[in-house]
Amino acid sequence: MNGTCHCMEGWMGSNCTQDVDECKNTSYCDAYLEDCYNEEGSASCECRYGNVNRTDNECVCEWEIKIKLELRIGLTITRDEIQNNHTEWLADIEHALENIYNESIRGFTKVTVLSIRLGSVFADHEIIANASDSVKIDVANQMLNFLTKQSTLTVRNLDAYITGAILKNENGAIVTNLTDPSTLCSDFKVQCEGNQNCEWTSGTLSCVKPKTADLSTYLIVLGVSIPVLIASIVMISICVCHRRNSKDNESGSLNKYTLSEDDWMKNVDTENYWSVGSDATKGHNNAIYSWNGLDEDLKVPEGFRIKRPIICIRKN
């Protein structure tokens, strides 16, 4: 029989003893989410990021979060330096970021530098960490530390400041340029647990409970305001009663000591030419005083007494 022999999948060569490196085929695995590992006669794809399950030829991460960022590193290097030592630069930047993120981000798992380019040095990278609200807050605070020059990046024995930071979405598109600390909560879409809110205060982001007055504050307010209110009511009542009594006294005095014209005429002592004014006054014993008697009763000094007018009443 004549026929043609073909090597089984994963092998090649005249005797089919040479292994095929499937990982050289960039489409064998998902280069974005998976790492390719060549094996004899085959290859395997493993999800790149931590705690994952591989279903339907896709990596599905259930317990982790990925945040993409681009940092502008204040280093001055040449294009030739980047091109000639590209791999080393990637590894060094990744190592420097890993040291910082490991200290500042809770649940940090891994950082991967995807690319670098010139113009200072732009490092496009992604941070992998256990999914929680604290991760976004920690990443945002670290970006704030970078931009305020509280943290430096040491790359290839060179200390450099971060002069810019850009947040990206899962597809690598720019979401926002991180410049305003007061918008970091909304930029990173931080969702705090329970009834807490993400706030930027005292130079840092944190989840805090809304400010509400506690019971002791209400008790203090009531303890002060109620006595003050009662005292105010008492004082107002006293003032009203005092003014009312004063008016009554004034009215009573006028009525008490004012005689009608008939009364005045009845009490005039025409025999002794008693003198009275238009408002004759009555003493405590209801007697009509003479003019001198009024001066004496009022204790008018001698030099200030008014001369008594003389009234002669004719008898008909």
Between 68 and 290, whose confidence is greater? 68
Given a contact cutoff of 8 angstroms between Cβ atoms, the answer to whether 20 and 36 are in contact is no
Segment 201-219 shows an average pLDDT of 74
For 24, which DSSP code?
G
Between 202 and 54, whose confidence is greater? 202
- Residue after which a domain boundary falls, among 27, 62, 97: 62
Tell me the pLDDT tens digit for each residue of 158-198. Answer: 889 999 999 998 778 888 999 888 888 888 888 887 788 88
pTM over 0.75: no
Given a contact cutoff of 8 angstroms between Cβ atoms, the answer to whether 91 and 116 are in contact is no
User: Is the same domain home to 23 and 69?
Assistant: no
User: Is the same domain home to 42 and 77?
Assistant: no
Segment 88-102 shows an average pLDDT of 93
For 93, which DSSP code?
H
Per the listing, tokens 């029989």 go with 1
Tell me the pLDDT tens digit for each residue of 9-55. Answer: 888 888 888 888 888 877 787 766 677 888 888 888 777 654 455 44
User: Is the same domain home to 94 and 192?
Assistant: yes
In a domain, 117, yes or no: yes
Strand blocks (E) in the chain? 11-12, 18-19, 34-39, 42-47, 52-55, 58-61, 64-73, 108-118, 121-130, 153-155, 158-160, 162-168, 174-177, 197-201, 204-208
In a domain, 231, yes or no: no
User: Is the same domain home to 96 and 57?
Assistant: no
User: Is the same domain home to 100 and 193?
Assistant: yes
Binning pLDDT at 50, 70 and 90, where does residue 60 land?
Answer: low
Residue 56 pLDDT exceeds 70: no
- Residue after which a domain boundary falls, among 62, 84, 113: 62
Q: Report pLDDT for 97.
A: 94
| Angstrom distance (rounded) from CA 115 to CA 122 | 8
Q: Report pLDDT for 276.
A: 43
Tell me the pLDDT tens digit for each residue of 254-281. Answer: 444 444 545 545 554 444 444 444 444 4
User: Is the same domain home to 152 and 185?
Assistant: yes
User: Is the same domain home to 85 and 184?
Assistant: yes
- Residue after which a domain boundary falls, among 191, 208, 225: 208
In a domain, 23, yes or no: yes
Q: Which domain holds residue 81?
A: 64-208
User: Is the same domain home to 163 and 190?
Assistant: yes
| Angstrom distance (rounded) from CA 66 to CA 108 | 10
In a domain, 96, yes or no: yes
Both structure tokens of 248: 């009554």
CATH of the domain at 73: 3.30.70
Q: Number of structural domains, the chain?
A: 3
Residue 121 pLDDT exceeds 80: yes
In a domain, 114, yes or no: yes
User: Is the same domain home to 37 and 82?
Assistant: no
User: Is the same domain home to 38 and 76?
Assistant: no
Tell me the pLDDT tens digit for each residue of 279-316. Answer: 444 444 444 455 566 666 666 676 666 666 655 555 55
Q: Which residues of 155-185 are buried (b: 16+ CB within 10 A; e: fewer)?
A: beeeebbbebbbbbeeeeeeeeebeebeebb
Q: How distant, in Å, are the alpha carbons of 232, 292, 309 from that of 278?
A: 46, 16, 12
Sequence-distant (≥ 6) Cβ neighbours of residue 48 within 8 angstroms: 33, 34, 35, 59, 112
User: Is the same domain home to 79 and 48?
Assistant: no
User: Is the same domain home to 37 and 73?
Assistant: no
